[in-house]
Amino acid sequence: EDAAQLAEAFARCASEAQGAFGSGALYVEKRVRRARHIEVQVLGDGSGAVSHLWERDCSLQRRHQKLVEIAPSPDLDAVAREAIIASALRLAAEVQYRGIGTFEFLLDLDQPGRFYFMEANPRVQVEHTVTEQVTGIDLLHTQLHLAAGSSLAELGLLTPPPAKGYAVQLRLNLETLLADGSARPASGVLGAYQPPSGPGLRVDGCGYTGYVVSPAYDSLIAKLIASASDYPGALRRAYRALCEFRLEGVASNLHLLQNLLQRDEVLANQVDTTYVERHLSELLAAREQAHPHRYFAGDASAQSARASLDAPPGTLALSAPSAGVLVSLALAEGDAVAAGQRIAVLEAMKMEFEVKAEHSGIVRALTVAPGDAIGEGQALAFLQPAEVDSLDAHG
């Protein structure tokens, strides 16, 4: 929102791009303030023949990272749906696309009928599950056949099958959401992991009781997919499944998702890509006790122990607020550090964020180096407390 921050944001994006792709080149796109995120599941066999498996609505996000995905979009009008799908197919046909791909668009809510191409992901997406649930097509199986040279005609997919009902996917992440909307990956050991089951439910997950969370991987621990004949029914089933999901020992977004599914705007699908950020304080304020626990609360705990470092006498730790990989450390032994000073940059979930000193003092010991995997709460350095003015700080 502040043009004065543009140069710093551009530099940070360039750094992320360099780390992820080996190139820091960037380009600037038009900003759409109120948008829905609509993506099309495209199939191609490399001959120029392309087809689709309808669209997904991925508008419920935090910091442009998807939280909830729906197939098909509950209230996308027929004209917009046809135009967006036609655009995706035209792009795919032009490059003789082969395989499963997702073509993503922003639908401008302030200019009805106007939409913009964002990107094409030439792979099977995390949210492919909801498309599978409403079409009955195994996308991984299809991807392998297309890669092996099968044609869409041979697979019977030149014409898209009708979408039956609705499916909603919820991403359960081991993370803490801060008041500014930024996410910090959590670390620790899962004390309990008991996913729900039953008709209309699917859980794709990698957790188990005793699972040790690693900062080297994405914070996504499970995908909960609920299907029903209508959109409200899918949301009700998804909410109950969240109440049946026992996930303990590490911070997660489970309660935020429960709060989200109780919002009237979500029930009516009257949301945009900034909805979660605009209402985050309310979503975080709702208490866990507001939701019933519908699981057996027997003993499924796993003992955990955290490695700790002995602090030099008379020092305080400068700790990492979340798990991640240390990109840079702006400290050396003997440096004077002021409270609020930037001391490090961590990378987590494909994003970089700054770590600032919680208190002032003189650096007496460093415990990490760039490239290290850092756990939540891990000491980065130890300070001898001292009054340090920001003008006197070094680093």
CB of 64 within 8 A of CB of 97?
no
- Chain-wide mean pLDDT for the chain? 90
Burial class, 313, CB count within 10 angstroms (exposed 0-12 / middle 13-18 / buried 19+): exposed
The confidence score (pLDDT) of residue 338 equals 92
Q: For residue range 127-183, what is the model confidence (pLDDT) as tens digits?
A: 999 999 999 999 999 999 999 999 999 999 999 999 999 999 999 999 988 877 778
Mean pLDDT for the stretch of residues 373-386: 88
The confidence score (pLDDT) of residue 290 equals 78
The confidence score (pLDDT) of residue 372 equals 87
- Report which DSSP code applies to 370: T
Q: What is the pTM of this model?
A: 0.75
**pLDDT band, very low/low/confident/very high, at 187 (cuts 50, 70, 90):** confident
Burial class, 306, CB count within 10 angstroms (exposed 0-12 / middle 13-18 / buried 19+): exposed
The confidence score (pLDDT) of residue 359 equals 87
Degrees to nearest 5, angle at CA 76 with 75 and 78: 120
Share of the chain above pLDDT 70, in %: 94
Q: Which of 311, 265, 219 is nearest to 109 (CA)?
A: 265
**What is the distance, to the nearest Å, from the Cα of residue 158 to the centroid of all Cα atoms in its chain?**
32
SS (H, E, C) 219-242: CEEEEEEEEECCHHHHHHHHHHHH
Q: For residue range 216-232, what is the model confidence (pLDDT) as tens digits?
A: 788 999 999 999 999 99
Count the residues in the chain: 395
Domains of the chain, earliest start first: 32-290 (3.30.470.20), 316-385 (2.40.50.100)
Identified catalytic residue from 123, 278, 294, 342: 123
Task: Note if 237 is an active site residue.
Answer: no
